[in-house]
Structure 1
Amino acid sequence: MIIMKVIDENNFENEAGKGLVLVDFFATWCGPCQRLTPVLEDIQGDFDGKIKFLKSDIDESRSLAKKFSVMSVPTMVVLKDGIPVDRMVGYMSPEDIKAKLQTHL
């Protein structure tokens, strides 16, 4: 299991500006977010070298959450070269997340 890197406004461009990236917008007080984290950490190995997995705490990085119109958590935004191309809202099974991500490869 690989621990996902947490990003904020300061390192967003550097970390998420190139390639295919999944950003998990979460909150520490969110139960479904806490259940989703190990799922994402588990499946990211299946996409090693193809999709970068990152996290962003909406309470710590409000402007980043606002930039991507995050209204509830968890919200996963798929970016291609920094541009949003897909979004998943709420807890999802590993199979559903993998299937959704496969469509972008």
Structure 2
Amino acid sequence: MAITHVTDQTFASNINEGLVLVDFWAPWCGPCKMIAPLLEEIDSEMVDKVKIIKLNTDENPETTSDFGVMSIPTLMFFKDGEAVEKVIGYQPKEELTDLISKHFSN
């Protein structure tokens, strides 16, 4: 499954089922560019455990504000529509896969 880019209008319908990792990012953000290839790898390796979506914070201020995103990248985990964890800043791949496994098993 490919990573889906969402908007303020499509956000809610993309987080309502299963485990979803949301990447709040912007094109000018250096750490966002660093984490993007890791998310691509995780998406292909853990397709059966997590859905990964990306929300451009510059183009979607409503959702960004609703979830209190002040720094990017911010990664939020949702389980069946409910926010379960938020991490801010670049994270190594191992940390991300550990978080996915933690929430997938719950």
Q: Does 1:98 align with 2:88?
A: no
1:15 aligned partner: 14
Give CA-to-partner distance per residue, 1:22-66, whole Å, 9 cap, x none. Answer: 000001110000111111011122221221000000001111111
Deviation at 1:80, TM superposition (A): 0.8
The separation in 1 between residues aligned to 2:2 and 2:71, in whole angstroms, is: 23
**Amino acid across the alignment from 2:65:** K
Identity %: 36
The separation in 1 between residues aligned to 2:11 and 2:38, in whole angstroms, is: 22
**Amino acid across the alignment from 2:46:** F
**Amino acid across the alignment from 2:12:** E
1:50 aligned partner: 49
Gaps of 5+ in 2: none
2:58 aligned partner: 59
TM-score normalised by L of structure 1: 0.92
The separation in 1 between residues aligned to 2:2 and 2:75, in whole angstroms, is: 16
Kept in 1: contact 2:24–2:56 (CA 8 A): yes
2:40 aligned partner: 41
1:25 aligned partner: 24
Deviation at 1:81, TM superposition (A): 1.4
Runs ≥4 in structure 1, deviation > 3 angstroms?
A: none
Question: What is the DSSP-based 3-state SS (H/G/I as helix, E as strand, rest coil) of the residue aligned with 1:103?
Answer: helix
Gaps of 5+ in 1: none
